[in-house]
Amino acid sequence: MVLYYNIMKSDKIIDKKEVKHISRLARLDLKDEEIDYFARQLDAIIHYIGQLKKVDTSKVEPTSHPLPISNVFREDIVRPSLKREAVMNGAPDKEEQLFKVPRIITEEF
Amino acid sequence: MGLNRETACRLAEMARGGGINPEDIITDTLGRISEVDGKIKAFVDITERDTLLRKAGERKKGRLSGIPVAVKDNICQAGRPATCASKILHGFSPPYNATVVDKLEGEGALLFGRTNMDEFAFGSSCETSCYGATRNPWDTERIPGGSSGGSAAAVAADETILAIGSDTGGSIRQPAALCGVVGLKPTYGRVSRYGLIAFASSLDQIGPITKDVADCALLLGVIAGHDERDSTSANVPVPDYGSFLNLDISGLKAGIPKEYFVKGIDTEVDKSVRSAIETFKKLGVKTVELSLPHTEYAVSAYYIIAPAEASSNLARFDGVQYGYRDAAADNIVDMFSATRSGGFGEEVKRRLMLGTYALSSGYYDAYYLKAMKVRTRIKEDFDGAFKKCDFIITPTSPSPAFKIGEKSGDPLAMYLSDIYTIPANLAGIPGISLPCGFTSAGLPIGLQILAAPFREDTIIKTAHAFERAADFRKKKPSL
Protein backbone atom coordinates (compact mmCIF):
# COMPACT_ATOMS: atom_id res chain seq x y z
CA MET A 1 0.00 0.00 0.00
CA VAL A 2 1.15 3.48 -0.76
CA LEU A 3 0.73 5.79 2.17
CA TYR A 4 4.48 6.07 2.21
CA TYR A 5 6.98 5.88 -0.61
CA ASN A 6 10.52 4.93 -1.37
CA ILE A 7 12.54 6.38 -4.14
CA MET A 8 15.57 4.77 -5.69
CA LYS A 9 17.88 7.68 -6.27
CA SER A 10 19.99 5.88 -8.84
CA ASP A 11 18.28 6.04 -12.21
CA LYS A 12 17.08 9.43 -13.29
CA ILE A 13 14.07 9.48 -15.60
CA ILE A 14 13.72 13.21 -16.05
CA ASP A 15 16.77 15.44 -16.27
CA LYS A 16 17.17 19.18 -16.69
CA LYS A 17 17.29 18.96 -20.48
CA GLU A 18 13.96 17.14 -20.52
CA VAL A 19 12.40 19.67 -18.14
CA LYS A 20 13.53 22.49 -20.40
CA HIS A 21 11.96 20.76 -23.38
CA ILE A 22 8.65 20.14 -21.56
CA SER A 23 8.51 23.70 -20.30
CA ARG A 24 8.77 24.95 -23.89
CA LEU A 25 5.93 22.65 -24.94
CA ALA A 26 3.82 23.87 -22.00
CA ARG A 27 4.61 27.51 -22.85
CA LEU A 28 6.26 28.12 -19.51
CA ASP A 29 9.36 30.22 -19.24
CA LEU A 30 11.30 28.77 -16.31
CA LYS A 31 14.32 30.24 -14.57
CA ASP A 32 17.41 28.03 -14.15
CA GLU A 33 16.74 27.41 -10.47
CA GLU A 34 13.12 26.47 -11.27
CA ILE A 35 14.35 23.94 -13.83
CA ASP A 36 16.60 22.34 -11.19
CA TYR A 37 13.80 22.28 -8.65
CA PHE A 38 11.17 20.84 -10.98
CA ALA A 39 13.62 18.29 -12.40
CA ARG A 40 14.12 16.82 -8.93
CA GLN A 41 10.43 16.84 -8.03
CA LEU A 42 9.13 15.56 -11.36
CA ASP A 43 11.71 12.78 -11.29
CA ALA A 44 10.45 11.67 -7.86
CA ILE A 45 6.82 11.77 -9.01
CA ILE A 46 7.51 9.89 -12.25
CA HIS A 47 9.46 7.26 -10.30
CA TYR A 48 6.47 6.76 -8.03
CA ILE A 49 4.10 6.58 -10.99
CA GLY A 50 6.34 3.92 -12.53
CA GLN A 51 4.60 1.37 -10.26
CA LEU A 52 1.84 1.29 -12.91
CA LYS A 53 4.13 -1.04 -14.86
CA LYS A 54 3.30 -3.75 -12.33
CA VAL A 55 -0.35 -3.88 -13.42
CA ASP A 56 -1.12 -6.40 -16.16
CA THR A 57 -3.16 -4.48 -18.70
CA SER A 58 -2.50 -6.65 -21.72
CA LYS A 59 -6.17 -7.41 -22.38
CA VAL A 60 -7.64 -4.22 -20.94
CA GLU A 61 -9.40 -1.49 -22.89
CA PRO A 62 -8.48 2.06 -21.83
CA THR A 63 -11.12 4.16 -20.01
CA SER A 64 -11.08 7.75 -21.18
CA HIS A 65 -14.39 8.46 -19.54
CA PRO A 66 -16.09 6.96 -16.47
CA LEU A 67 -19.53 6.48 -18.01
CA PRO A 68 -20.54 5.26 -21.45
CA ILE A 69 -21.08 8.33 -23.59
CA SER A 70 -22.00 8.80 -27.20
CA ASN A 71 -22.28 11.72 -29.57
CA VAL A 72 -24.89 14.26 -28.61
CA PHE A 73 -26.81 15.77 -31.50
CA ARG A 74 -29.14 18.72 -31.72
CA GLU A 75 -30.88 20.65 -34.45
CA ASP A 76 -28.66 23.20 -36.16
CA ILE A 77 -30.71 26.28 -35.37
CA VAL A 78 -29.70 29.83 -34.52
CA ARG A 79 -30.11 30.64 -30.85
CA PRO A 80 -29.27 33.76 -28.89
CA SER A 81 -25.68 33.92 -27.67
CA LEU A 82 -23.70 36.26 -25.45
CA LYS A 83 -23.25 39.86 -26.54
CA ARG A 84 -19.88 40.45 -28.19
CA GLU A 85 -19.05 43.37 -25.86
CA ALA A 86 -19.71 41.19 -22.82
CA VAL A 87 -17.34 38.53 -24.14
CA MET A 88 -14.64 41.02 -25.15
CA ASN A 89 -14.84 42.84 -21.83
CA GLY A 90 -12.38 40.56 -20.04
CA ALA A 91 -9.66 40.87 -22.68
CA PRO A 92 -6.39 42.48 -21.60
CA ASP A 93 -6.18 44.29 -24.94
CA LYS A 94 -8.65 44.72 -27.80
CA GLU A 95 -9.46 46.95 -30.74
CA GLU A 96 -12.99 47.29 -32.07
CA GLN A 97 -14.28 43.71 -32.29
CA LEU A 98 -10.93 42.00 -32.11
CA PHE A 99 -8.58 40.65 -29.48
CA LYS A 100 -5.29 42.50 -29.84
CA VAL A 101 -1.99 40.61 -29.47
CA PRO A 102 1.69 41.34 -30.08
CA ARG A 103 3.32 40.51 -33.42
CA ILE A 104 2.73 36.98 -34.63
CA ILE A 105 5.41 36.88 -37.34
CA THR A 106 8.82 37.86 -36.05
CA GLU A 107 11.14 36.84 -38.87
CA GLU A 108 11.43 38.59 -42.21
CA PHE A 109 10.66 36.24 -45.07
CA MET B 1 -30.44 35.88 16.54
CA GLY B 2 -27.77 33.48 15.27
CA LEU B 3 -29.74 32.36 12.22
CA ASN B 4 -26.42 31.69 10.46
CA ARG B 5 -25.97 28.71 12.79
CA GLU B 6 -29.07 26.95 11.46
CA THR B 7 -29.42 24.49 8.59
CA ALA B 8 -31.34 25.24 5.40
CA CYS B 9 -34.03 22.70 6.31
CA ARG B 10 -34.50 24.30 9.73
CA LEU B 11 -34.67 27.83 8.24
CA ALA B 12 -37.28 26.65 5.72
CA GLU B 13 -39.31 25.21 8.58
CA MET B 14 -39.03 28.47 10.55
CA ALA B 15 -40.02 30.45 7.44
CA ARG B 16 -43.12 28.31 6.96
CA GLY B 17 -44.08 29.14 10.55
CA GLY B 18 -43.69 32.80 9.64
CA GLY B 19 -41.10 33.25 12.38
CA ILE B 20 -38.22 34.76 10.39
CA ASN B 21 -37.51 37.72 8.25
CA PRO B 22 -35.12 37.17 5.30
CA GLU B 23 -33.30 40.37 6.27
CA ASP B 24 -32.35 38.81 9.59
CA ILE B 25 -30.68 35.86 7.84
CA ILE B 26 -28.62 38.33 5.80
CA THR B 27 -27.71 40.40 8.85
CA ASP B 28 -26.68 37.37 10.90
CA THR B 29 -24.68 35.76 8.10
CA LEU B 30 -22.85 38.94 7.04
CA GLY B 31 -22.28 39.65 10.73
CA ARG B 32 -20.64 36.28 11.20
CA ILE B 33 -18.48 36.76 8.11
CA SER B 34 -17.21 40.11 9.35
CA GLU B 35 -16.65 38.63 12.83
CA VAL B 36 -14.58 35.57 11.85
CA ASP B 37 -13.49 35.69 8.22
CA GLY B 38 -10.42 37.77 9.05
CA LYS B 39 -9.19 34.64 10.85
CA ILE B 40 -10.59 31.95 8.53
CA LYS B 41 -10.19 33.64 5.13
CA ALA B 42 -12.81 31.42 3.52
CA PHE B 43 -14.10 34.09 1.15
CA VAL B 44 -12.30 35.80 -1.73
CA ASP B 45 -15.32 37.92 -2.69
CA ILE B 46 -18.30 38.86 -0.50
CA THR B 47 -21.59 40.03 -1.99
CA GLU B 48 -22.59 43.55 -0.90
CA ARG B 49 -25.42 43.85 1.64
CA ASP B 50 -27.49 46.02 -0.73
CA THR B 51 -27.31 43.42 -3.50
CA LEU B 52 -28.40 40.69 -1.08
CA LEU B 53 -31.25 42.81 0.26
CA ARG B 54 -32.43 43.57 -3.26
CA LYS B 55 -32.41 39.87 -4.17
CA ALA B 56 -34.17 38.95 -0.93
CA GLY B 57 -36.71 41.70 -1.59
CA GLU B 58 -37.84 39.83 -4.69
CA ARG B 59 -39.25 37.22 -2.27
CA LYS B 60 -38.61 34.54 -4.83
CA LYS B 61 -40.38 31.31 -3.94
CA GLY B 62 -38.32 28.17 -4.12
CA ARG B 63 -36.67 25.35 -2.24
CA LEU B 64 -33.82 27.65 -1.17
CA SER B 65 -35.76 30.86 -0.74
CA GLY B 66 -33.61 33.33 1.22
CA ILE B 67 -30.93 30.74 2.04
CA PRO B 68 -27.26 31.86 1.93
CA VAL B 69 -25.04 29.82 -0.39
CA ALA B 70 -21.29 30.27 -0.90
CA VAL B 71 -19.86 29.28 -4.27
CA LYS B 72 -16.33 28.08 -5.02
CA ASP B 73 -14.25 30.52 -7.04
CA ASN B 74 -14.03 28.20 -10.09
CA ILE B 75 -17.78 28.32 -10.85
CA CYS B 76 -18.97 31.19 -13.06
CA GLN B 77 -21.40 33.70 -11.64
CA ALA B 78 -22.18 36.55 -14.05
CA GLY B 79 -20.65 39.84 -12.97
CA ARG B 80 -18.66 38.50 -10.01
CA PRO B 81 -14.95 37.76 -10.26
CA ALA B 82 -14.08 34.11 -11.05
CA THR B 83 -10.37 33.63 -10.58
CA CYS B 84 -9.81 29.98 -9.57
CA ALA B 85 -7.63 31.64 -6.90
CA SER B 86 -5.07 32.34 -9.64
CA LYS B 87 -3.27 35.51 -10.64
CA ILE B 88 -3.75 34.55 -14.28
CA LEU B 89 -7.50 35.23 -13.99
CA HIS B 90 -7.01 38.48 -12.11
CA GLY B 91 -9.73 40.93 -13.02
CA PHE B 92 -11.88 38.40 -14.88
CA SER B 93 -15.65 38.43 -14.36
CA PRO B 94 -17.54 35.95 -16.53
CA PRO B 95 -20.45 37.26 -18.61
CA TYR B 96 -22.62 34.21 -17.88
CA ASN B 97 -23.81 31.93 -15.08
CA ALA B 98 -22.88 28.30 -14.58
CA THR B 99 -25.96 26.05 -14.80
CA VAL B 100 -25.58 25.36 -11.07
CA VAL B 101 -25.72 29.10 -10.32
CA ASP B 102 -28.87 29.48 -12.48
CA LYS B 103 -30.46 26.61 -10.59
CA LEU B 104 -29.56 28.04 -7.16
CA GLU B 105 -30.92 31.47 -8.06
CA GLY B 106 -33.97 29.86 -9.64
CA GLU B 107 -34.80 28.35 -6.24
CA GLY B 108 -34.39 31.70 -4.49
CA ALA B 109 -30.93 31.14 -2.94
CA LEU B 110 -28.85 34.17 -1.97
CA LEU B 111 -25.30 33.92 -3.29
CA PHE B 112 -23.22 35.37 -0.47
CA GLY B 113 -19.78 35.13 -1.95
CA ARG B 114 -17.01 33.24 -3.64
CA THR B 115 -14.84 30.87 -1.66
CA ASN B 116 -11.11 30.27 -1.60
CA MET B 117 -9.52 27.19 -3.12
CA ASP B 118 -6.22 25.75 -4.20
CA GLU B 119 -5.19 27.46 -7.43
CA PHE B 120 -7.22 25.86 -10.26
CA ALA B 121 -8.29 23.22 -7.68
CA PHE B 122 -4.78 21.69 -7.78
CA GLY B 123 -4.20 20.78 -4.16
CA SER B 124 -5.42 19.26 -0.93
CA SER B 125 -4.78 22.10 1.49
CA CYS B 126 -5.93 25.45 0.09
CA GLU B 127 -2.34 26.64 0.46
CA THR B 128 -1.72 27.18 -3.25
CA SER B 129 -4.33 29.96 -3.53
CA CYS B 130 -2.93 33.28 -4.80
CA TYR B 131 -4.88 34.91 -1.94
CA GLY B 132 -3.11 32.85 0.74
CA ALA B 133 -4.33 29.87 2.75
CA THR B 134 -7.77 29.43 4.28
CA ARG B 135 -7.61 28.33 7.94
CA ASN B 136 -9.33 25.37 9.54
CA PRO B 137 -12.03 26.68 11.94
CA TRP B 138 -11.21 23.89 14.43
CA ASP B 139 -7.55 24.97 14.64
CA THR B 140 -6.48 28.02 12.68
CA GLU B 141 -2.86 26.80 12.55
CA ARG B 142 -4.06 23.96 10.34
CA ILE B 143 -5.22 23.60 6.75
CA PRO B 144 -8.94 23.22 5.99
CA GLY B 145 -8.24 20.64 3.29
CA GLY B 146 -8.66 21.27 -0.38
CA SER B 147 -9.27 22.17 -2.89
CA SER B 148 -12.75 23.34 -1.81
CA GLY B 149 -11.28 24.43 1.53
CA GLY B 150 -12.98 27.84 1.53
CA SER B 151 -16.43 26.29 1.03
CA ALA B 152 -15.90 23.68 3.77
CA ALA B 153 -14.43 26.19 6.24
CA ALA B 154 -17.25 28.69 5.60
CA VAL B 155 -19.88 26.03 6.37
CA ALA B 156 -18.00 24.81 9.46
CA ALA B 157 -17.59 28.36 10.80
CA ASP B 158 -21.29 29.20 10.20
CA GLU B 159 -20.30 31.89 7.68
CA THR B 160 -22.88 30.44 5.31
CA ILE B 161 -25.71 27.93 5.47
CA LEU B 162 -24.81 25.99 2.32
CA ALA B 163 -21.83 25.86 -0.02
CA ILE B 164 -20.94 24.53 -3.44
CA GLY B 165 -17.61 22.86 -4.18
CA SER B 166 -16.04 20.82 -6.96
CA ASP B 167 -14.33 17.45 -6.66
CA THR B 168 -11.75 16.06 -9.11
CA GLY B 169 -9.82 13.77 -6.75
CA GLY B 170 -11.44 14.44 -3.38
CA SER B 171 -11.75 18.22 -3.35
CA ILE B 172 -15.23 18.21 -1.77
CA ARG B 173 -14.93 15.16 0.49
CA GLN B 174 -11.46 15.71 1.97
CA PRO B 175 -12.05 19.34 3.14
CA ALA B 176 -15.52 18.31 4.39
CA ALA B 177 -13.83 15.59 6.49
CA LEU B 178 -11.12 17.91 7.80
CA CYS B 179 -13.63 20.67 8.69
CA GLY B 180 -16.26 18.36 10.24
CA VAL B 181 -19.04 18.98 7.72
CA VAL B 182 -20.88 16.96 5.05
CA GLY B 183 -19.60 16.94 1.44
CA LEU B 184 -20.91 14.92 -1.49
CA LYS B 185 -19.29 14.20 -4.83
CA PRO B 186 -22.14 13.10 -7.09
CA THR B 187 -21.86 10.50 -9.86
CA TYR B 188 -19.97 11.83 -12.87
CA GLY B 189 -22.64 13.45 -15.07
CA ARG B 190 -25.20 13.90 -12.26
CA VAL B 191 -24.59 17.67 -12.04
CA SER B 192 -23.93 19.90 -15.04
CA ARG B 193 -20.36 21.13 -15.39
CA TYR B 194 -21.40 24.03 -17.62
CA GLY B 195 -19.70 27.11 -16.20
CA LEU B 196 -17.27 25.15 -14.03
CA ILE B 197 -13.79 26.23 -15.12
CA ALA B 198 -12.40 22.86 -16.22
CA PHE B 199 -9.52 21.13 -14.43
CA ALA B 200 -9.80 17.48 -15.58
CA SER B 201 -12.94 17.10 -17.64
CA SER B 202 -13.39 13.34 -17.19
CA LEU B 203 -13.12 13.61 -13.39
CA ASP B 204 -14.62 16.98 -12.33
CA GLN B 205 -17.99 17.09 -10.56
CA ILE B 206 -19.77 19.89 -8.70
CA GLY B 207 -21.40 18.99 -5.37
CA PRO B 208 -22.86 20.24 -2.08
CA ILE B 209 -21.04 21.04 1.18
CA THR B 210 -23.47 21.33 4.07
CA LYS B 211 -23.92 21.11 7.84
CA ASP B 212 -25.88 17.86 7.74
CA VAL B 213 -27.18 15.11 5.48
CA ALA B 214 -30.73 16.53 5.13
CA ASP B 215 -29.29 19.77 3.72
CA CYS B 216 -27.05 17.72 1.43
CA ALA B 217 -30.12 15.94 0.03
CA LEU B 218 -31.89 19.27 -0.43
CA LEU B 219 -29.00 20.96 -2.22
CA LEU B 220 -28.21 17.94 -4.41
CA GLY B 221 -31.85 17.86 -5.53
CA VAL B 222 -31.55 21.50 -6.61
CA ILE B 223 -28.32 21.22 -8.60
CA ALA B 224 -28.68 17.72 -10.14
CA GLY B 225 -30.13 16.98 -13.55
CA HIS B 226 -29.52 16.84 -17.25
CA ASP B 227 -28.30 19.97 -19.03
CA GLU B 228 -28.06 20.24 -22.79
CA ARG B 229 -25.20 22.73 -22.34
CA ASP B 230 -22.99 19.95 -20.90
CA SER B 231 -22.80 17.04 -23.32
CA THR B 232 -21.40 14.81 -20.55
CA SER B 233 -24.32 15.44 -18.20
CA ALA B 234 -26.44 12.34 -17.77
CA ASN B 235 -30.05 12.14 -18.85
CA VAL B 236 -31.11 10.21 -15.76
CA PRO B 237 -34.20 11.27 -13.74
CA VAL B 238 -33.52 13.09 -10.45
CA PRO B 239 -35.35 11.47 -7.53
CA ASP B 240 -36.64 13.40 -4.51
CA TYR B 241 -33.54 12.91 -2.38
CA GLY B 242 -35.41 14.15 0.71
CA SER B 243 -37.55 11.01 0.54
CA PHE B 244 -34.49 8.92 1.46
CA LEU B 245 -34.14 10.54 4.89
CA ASN B 246 -35.35 8.81 8.06
CA LEU B 247 -35.42 5.34 6.54
CA ASP B 248 -34.64 1.97 8.08
CA ILE B 249 -31.39 0.62 6.65
CA SER B 250 -31.39 -2.80 8.29
CA GLY B 251 -30.66 -5.61 5.87
CA LEU B 252 -28.40 -3.48 3.64
CA LYS B 253 -24.89 -4.75 3.01
CA ALA B 254 -21.82 -2.60 3.60
CA GLY B 255 -18.52 -3.47 1.94
CA ILE B 256 -15.33 -2.89 3.94
CA PRO B 257 -12.37 -2.77 1.54
CA LYS B 258 -9.28 -4.19 3.25
CA GLU B 259 -6.93 -2.00 1.17
CA TYR B 260 -8.22 1.11 2.97
CA PHE B 261 -7.29 -0.05 6.47
CA VAL B 262 -3.54 -0.46 6.34
CA LYS B 263 -0.25 0.79 7.73
CA GLY B 264 0.11 4.53 7.33
CA ILE B 265 -3.41 5.47 8.38
CA ASP B 266 -3.63 7.65 11.49
CA THR B 267 -4.58 5.46 14.47
CA GLU B 268 -7.33 7.78 15.70
CA VAL B 269 -8.86 7.91 12.20
CA ASP B 270 -8.71 4.13 11.97
CA LYS B 271 -10.36 3.71 15.39
CA SER B 272 -13.09 6.22 14.65
CA VAL B 273 -14.02 4.65 11.29
CA ARG B 274 -14.04 1.17 12.82
CA SER B 275 -16.38 2.41 15.51
CA ALA B 276 -18.62 3.88 12.76
CA ILE B 277 -18.75 0.40 11.21
CA GLU B 278 -19.98 -0.92 14.58
CA THR B 279 -22.70 1.75 14.58
CA PHE B 280 -23.85 0.56 11.15
CA LYS B 281 -23.98 -3.01 12.48
CA LYS B 282 -26.22 -1.83 15.32
CA LEU B 283 -28.49 -0.32 12.68
CA GLY B 284 -28.89 -3.80 11.19
CA VAL B 285 -26.39 -3.45 8.37
CA LYS B 286 -24.48 -6.59 7.39
CA THR B 287 -20.80 -6.11 6.61
CA VAL B 288 -18.71 -7.95 4.06
CA GLU B 289 -14.96 -7.71 3.71
CA LEU B 290 -13.97 -6.77 0.18
CA SER B 291 -10.86 -6.37 -1.88
CA LEU B 292 -10.36 -3.48 -4.28
CA PRO B 293 -6.98 -4.77 -5.43
CA HIS B 294 -6.02 -1.85 -7.69
CA THR B 295 -6.47 0.81 -4.98
CA GLU B 296 -2.73 1.20 -4.57
CA TYR B 297 -2.38 2.28 -8.22
CA ALA B 298 -5.10 4.95 -8.06
CA VAL B 299 -2.83 7.86 -7.11
CA SER B 300 -0.39 7.00 -9.91
CA ALA B 301 -3.12 6.69 -12.55
CA TYR B 302 -4.71 9.91 -11.31
CA TYR B 303 -1.45 11.88 -11.45
CA ILE B 304 -1.12 10.99 -15.11
CA ILE B 305 -4.75 11.46 -16.17
CA ALA B 306 -5.62 14.60 -14.19
CA PRO B 307 -2.50 16.61 -15.13
CA ALA B 308 -2.77 15.44 -18.76
CA GLU B 309 -6.33 16.73 -19.00
CA ALA B 310 -5.39 19.87 -17.08
CA SER B 311 -2.44 20.65 -19.35
CA SER B 312 -4.79 20.80 -22.30
CA ASN B 313 -7.65 22.57 -20.45
CA LEU B 314 -5.33 25.27 -19.13
CA ALA B 315 -3.85 25.98 -22.57
CA ARG B 316 -6.60 28.61 -22.91
CA PHE B 317 -4.95 30.82 -20.30
CA ASP B 318 -2.57 32.64 -22.59
CA GLY B 319 -3.23 36.33 -22.00
CA VAL B 320 -5.45 36.80 -25.06
CA GLN B 321 -9.11 36.51 -24.08
CA TYR B 322 -9.22 37.19 -20.35
CA GLY B 323 -7.31 37.87 -17.20
CA TYR B 324 -3.67 38.75 -16.76
CA ARG B 325 -1.18 39.49 -19.54
CA ASP B 326 2.54 40.16 -19.33
CA ALA B 327 2.65 43.05 -21.78
CA ALA B 328 6.43 43.35 -22.08
CA ALA B 329 6.97 40.73 -24.80
CA ASP B 330 7.11 41.94 -28.40
CA ASN B 331 5.91 38.75 -30.08
CA ILE B 332 3.02 36.44 -29.36
CA VAL B 333 4.88 33.27 -28.33
CA ASP B 334 6.99 35.16 -25.80
CA MET B 335 3.81 36.84 -24.55
CA PHE B 336 2.15 33.43 -24.00
CA SER B 337 5.14 32.11 -22.07
CA ALA B 338 5.71 35.25 -20.02
CA THR B 339 2.00 35.50 -19.15
CA ARG B 340 1.75 31.86 -18.10
CA SER B 341 5.00 31.91 -16.14
CA GLY B 342 4.00 35.06 -14.28
CA GLY B 343 0.32 34.15 -13.88
CA PHE B 344 0.47 30.53 -12.70
CA GLY B 345 1.74 29.47 -9.29
CA GLU B 346 4.22 26.70 -8.57
CA GLU B 347 1.80 23.76 -8.18
CA VAL B 348 0.02 24.68 -11.42
CA LYS B 349 3.34 24.78 -13.27
CA ARG B 350 4.32 21.41 -11.77
CA ARG B 351 1.10 19.75 -12.91
CA LEU B 352 1.16 21.34 -16.36
CA MET B 353 4.69 20.03 -16.82
CA LEU B 354 3.69 16.57 -15.59
CA GLY B 355 0.69 16.48 -17.92
CA THR B 356 2.65 17.78 -20.88
CA TYR B 357 5.33 15.17 -20.25
CA ALA B 358 2.78 12.33 -20.06
CA LEU B 359 1.22 13.39 -23.36
CA SER B 360 4.45 14.19 -25.18
CA SER B 361 5.74 12.23 -28.10
CA GLY B 362 7.38 8.97 -27.05
CA TYR B 363 5.78 8.77 -23.61
CA TYR B 364 2.06 8.65 -24.47
CA ASP B 365 1.74 4.84 -24.45
CA ALA B 366 3.95 4.32 -21.41
CA TYR B 367 2.10 6.79 -19.22
CA TYR B 368 -1.22 8.14 -20.49
CA LEU B 369 -2.50 5.01 -22.25
CA LYS B 370 -1.25 2.83 -19.39
CA ALA B 371 -3.00 5.04 -16.84
CA MET B 372 -6.28 4.83 -18.77
CA LYS B 373 -6.04 1.04 -18.74
CA VAL B 374 -5.35 0.98 -15.01
CA ARG B 375 -8.39 3.24 -14.66
CA THR B 376 -10.44 0.46 -16.27
CA ARG B 377 -9.06 -1.98 -13.67
CA ILE B 378 -10.06 0.36 -10.82
CA LYS B 379 -13.54 0.75 -12.26
CA GLU B 380 -13.86 -3.04 -12.60
CA ASP B 381 -12.90 -3.41 -8.92
CA PHE B 382 -15.90 -1.26 -7.96
CA ASP B 383 -18.26 -2.94 -10.46
CA GLY B 384 -17.41 -6.26 -8.80
CA ALA B 385 -17.71 -4.85 -5.30
CA PHE B 386 -21.21 -3.46 -5.86
CA LYS B 387 -22.39 -6.94 -6.83
CA LYS B 388 -21.57 -7.98 -3.26
CA CYS B 389 -22.73 -4.94 -1.29
CA ASP B 390 -25.01 -1.88 -1.42
CA PHE B 391 -22.44 0.62 -0.25
CA ILE B 392 -18.78 0.84 0.78
CA ILE B 393 -17.44 2.35 4.01
CA THR B 394 -13.93 3.84 4.18
CA PRO B 395 -12.08 6.68 5.88
CA THR B 396 -12.20 9.90 3.83
CA SER B 397 -8.62 10.93 4.57
CA PRO B 398 -5.75 8.93 6.10
CA SER B 399 -5.07 11.73 8.59
CA PRO B 400 -6.83 14.68 10.24
CA ALA B 401 -6.01 18.27 9.21
CA PHE B 402 -2.26 18.86 9.06
CA LYS B 403 -0.37 22.04 9.94
CA ILE B 404 -0.06 24.84 7.41
CA GLY B 405 3.28 24.39 5.60
CA GLU B 406 3.73 20.79 6.81
CA LYS B 407 3.50 19.17 3.36
CA SER B 408 3.90 22.11 1.03
CA GLY B 409 7.56 21.29 0.26
CA ASP B 410 6.81 17.67 -0.66
CA PRO B 411 4.31 17.41 -3.52
CA LEU B 412 4.26 13.61 -3.51
CA ALA B 413 3.34 13.44 0.21
CA MET B 414 0.54 15.92 -0.53
CA TYR B 415 -0.70 13.82 -3.47
CA LEU B 416 -0.81 10.68 -1.32
CA SER B 417 -3.17 12.37 1.14
CA ASP B 418 -5.94 11.85 -1.44
CA ILE B 419 -5.48 8.07 -1.66
CA TYR B 420 -8.99 7.28 -0.33
CA THR B 421 -10.91 9.79 -2.42
CA ILE B 422 -9.26 9.51 -5.86
CA PRO B 423 -10.64 6.03 -6.80
CA ALA B 424 -14.26 7.31 -6.83
CA ASN B 425 -13.35 9.99 -9.38
CA LEU B 426 -11.55 7.52 -11.62
CA ALA B 427 -14.56 5.16 -11.49
CA GLY B 428 -17.11 8.00 -11.73
CA ILE B 429 -19.05 6.78 -8.67
CA PRO B 430 -20.66 8.99 -5.98
CA GLY B 431 -19.17 9.45 -2.52
CA ILE B 432 -19.97 11.41 0.62
CA SER B 433 -17.89 12.41 3.62
CA LEU B 434 -19.62 13.00 6.93
CA PRO B 435 -18.33 13.49 10.47
CA CYS B 436 -17.69 10.31 12.47
CA GLY B 437 -15.68 11.60 15.42
CA PHE B 438 -12.86 13.78 16.70
CA THR B 439 -9.22 13.19 17.51
CA SER B 440 -7.96 13.70 21.06
CA ALA B 441 -6.75 17.13 19.90
CA GLY B 442 -10.30 17.98 18.85
CA LEU B 443 -9.88 17.70 15.07
CA PRO B 444 -12.79 16.30 13.03
CA ILE B 445 -12.61 12.87 11.37
CA GLY B 446 -14.57 12.00 8.24
CA LEU B 447 -16.27 8.79 7.17
CA GLN B 448 -16.63 8.11 3.45
CA ILE B 449 -19.59 6.22 1.95
CA LEU B 450 -19.36 5.16 -1.70
CA ALA B 451 -22.15 3.75 -3.86
CA ALA B 452 -22.73 2.54 -7.40
CA PRO B 453 -23.28 5.11 -10.19
CA PHE B 454 -26.48 7.18 -9.67
CA ARG B 455 -27.12 5.60 -6.28
CA GLU B 456 -26.93 8.88 -4.37
CA ASP B 457 -30.21 7.66 -2.83
CA THR B 458 -28.31 4.85 -1.06
CA ILE B 459 -25.70 7.35 0.11
CA ILE B 460 -28.32 9.76 1.53
CA LYS B 461 -30.22 6.91 3.18
CA THR B 462 -27.20 5.32 4.87
CA ALA B 463 -25.45 8.60 5.75
CA HIS B 464 -28.61 9.99 7.31
CA ALA B 465 -29.18 6.82 9.35
CA PHE B 466 -25.60 7.03 10.62
CA GLU B 467 -25.91 10.73 11.41
CA ARG B 468 -29.04 10.12 13.49
CA ALA B 469 -27.41 7.22 15.35
CA ALA B 470 -24.11 9.00 16.04
CA ASP B 471 -24.76 12.70 15.99
CA PHE B 472 -21.60 14.82 15.78
CA ARG B 473 -23.40 17.96 14.63
CA LYS B 474 -23.84 19.55 18.04
CA LYS B 475 -20.16 20.26 18.48
CA LYS B 476 -19.07 23.51 16.82
CA PRO B 477 -15.60 25.03 16.54
CA SER B 478 -14.96 27.80 19.04
CA LEU B 479 -13.75 30.89 17.22
Q: What is the CATH number for B184?
A: 3.90.1300.10
pLDDT for B103 equals 98
Question: Is residue B171 annotated as part of the catalytic site, yes or no?
Answer: yes
ipTM above 0.85, yes or no: yes
**Chain A residues lying within 8 Å of B187, measured CB to CB:** 67
Integer Cα distance of B361 and B366 in angstroms:
11
In a domain, B287, yes or no: no
Q: Provide the domain limits for residue B222.
A: 3-247
Give me the pLDDT at residue A13, please.
85
Put simply, whether B95 touches A (Cβ < 8 Å) is yes
Q: Find the closest chain A residue to B91 by CA distance.
A: A90
How many inter-chain contacts (A to B, CB under 8 Å) are there? 196
Choose which CATH entry (1.10.10.10, 1.10.3720.10, 1.10.357.10, 1.10.20.60) describes domain A12-57. Answer: 1.10.20.60
B334 in reach of chain A (CB within 8 A): yes
Enumerate the residues of chain A whose CB falls inside 8 A of the CB of residue B321: 90-91, 99
Residue from B75, B89, B42, B82 nearest B344 by CA: B89
pLDDT tens per residue across span A6-55: 444 457 889 999 999 999 999 999 999 999 999 999 999 999 999 999 99
Q: Give the count of domains, chain B.
A: 1
Q: Where in chain A are the domains?
A: 12-57
Q: Is B473 near chain A, with CB under 8 Å?
A: no
Looking at residue A107, its pLDDT comes to 67
Ramachandran class of B259: left when φ > 0, alpha when ψ lies in -120 to 50, beta otherwise: alpha
pTM over 0.90: yes
What pLDDT, on the 0 to 100 scale, is given for residue B18?
A: 82
Which residue in chain B has the smallest CA separation from A24?
Answer: B337
> How do the pLDDT tens digits run along chain B, 479 residues long?
799 999 999 999 999 888 789 999 999 999 999 999 999 999 999 999 999 999 999 888 899 999 999 999 999 999 999 999 999 999 999 999 999 999 999 999 999 999 999 999 999 999 999 999 999 999 999 999 999 999 999 999 999 999 999 999 999 999 999 999 999 999 999 999 999 999 999 999 999 999 999 999 999 999 999 999 999 999 999 999 999 999 999 999 999 999 999 888 999 999 999 999 999 999 999 999 999 999 999 999 999 999 999 999 999 999 999 999 999 998 999 999 999 999 999 999 999 999 999 999 888 999 999 999 999 999 999 999 999 999 999 999 999 999 999 998 888 888 988 999 999 999 999 999 999 999 999 999 999 999 999 999 999 999 999 999 998 888 899 98
